[in-house]
Structure 1
């Protein structure tokens, strides 16, 4: 019997952190490697409380991204304030899927923010100092995500263990930012 604490096994966490400690120059191959155990299939599950939409799609099979699934993801992760759609970088999708696999849950992510139009980003910047002027959201390279069954710290550690981009912890707002930029982390 496996002893689980908040859905993560001690062995899985130790293995994930040990794997990242021996890698001198983290790359996106780390996230891809964490997805290999899925039987050459990559899947993303999300819902959007603002639009009421749900997404549960296999977007990659046997080395190939599925164009129709990526189009569905792009539409789902659109700027919901004005319905503008931008292609979401597949590296961001892969990072979020890899982190989700590490968290060992079937609960879909709640999408807080995917693509942001320049108008939306400017409006959010006027309201908060935590919104970057040149946010990766503007390029379709970032996602802000939440899970009710996992803490911000658990999500943050899982995404950081992938060593595949930027990971921000926003504990007071209850979400984790994941992007396909340089490997870095921030927040508390």
Structure 2
């Protein structure tokens, strides 16, 4: 048996991998599979923002349906805190975040560093750092930068990569992981 402290994975988290991967990799199939109906399937997201002092801990999907009012709350929570602009976040990104969190088997909420970014904010950040993409998926609501105190960048990235559903960037120097619903790829160290 592998020590979960060294890998960041627990047996329960790994057992949930198959379900989480199926849910994230093809969220549109969840309604098609009759065996999932009535199975009590839920998706939950837990985050806080050190920038705004806000937190969110909510179930946003139940048995094949996103909860519209809750999704609006998530969109507001993930807004560009510098401009207060909001965007409808791509739910595939939220699903990747939730599945990764579930794989890691932690109760600690994510610290959200960046969700939606307005073009103005993205341009400002690009002028200060080479690591900010000109056509960042943050600007279209398809990316999030996240941190967990109890897990390393490597552990978080491996959990997100296990979902095989989008981009995963490791930013070890800044202690965060980028997750997005774009093409499957990974970078950083």
TM-score (norm 2): 0.85
2:113 corresponds to 1:112:
yes
Q: 2 CA distance for matches of 1:174 and 1:101? A: 20
Tell me the equivalent position of 1:59: 60
Cα distance 1:14–1:70, how it changes in 2: closer, same or farther (>3 A)?
A: closer
Q: 2 CA distance for matches of 1:16 and 1:149? A: 20
Tell me the equivalent position of 2:5: 5
Q: Secondary structure at the match of 1:44?
A: strand
**What's the CA shift string for 1:94-124, capped at 9, x where partnerless?**
0000000000001000000000000000000
Shift of residue 13, structure 1, vs aligned partner: 5.2
Q: 2 CA distance for matches of 1:49 and 1:169? A: 20
Is 2:13–2:104's contact at 8 Å kept on the other side of the alignment? no
Tell me the equivalent position of 1:124: 125
Q: Secondary structure at the match of 1:100?
A: helix
Q: Secondary structure at the match of 1:91?
A: helix
Tell me the equivalent position of 2:96: 95
Cα distance 1:157–1:61, how it changes in 2: closer, same or farther (>3 A)?
A: same
Q: Secondary structure at the match of 2:44?
A: strand
Compute the RMSD of aligned alpha carbons: 2.9
Tell me the equivalent position of 1:24: none
2:26 corresponds to 1:29:
yes
2:43 corresponds to 1:42:
yes
Q: Which runs of 5+ in 1 are unaligned?
A: 21-26
Q: Which runs of 5+ in 2 are unaligned?
A: 31-35
Residue-pair matches, total:
179
Tell me the equivalent position of 1:187: 188
Shift of residue 10, structure 1, vs aligned partner: 6.1
Q: 2 CA distance for matches of 1:4 and 1:77? A: 30
TM-score (norm 1): 0.86
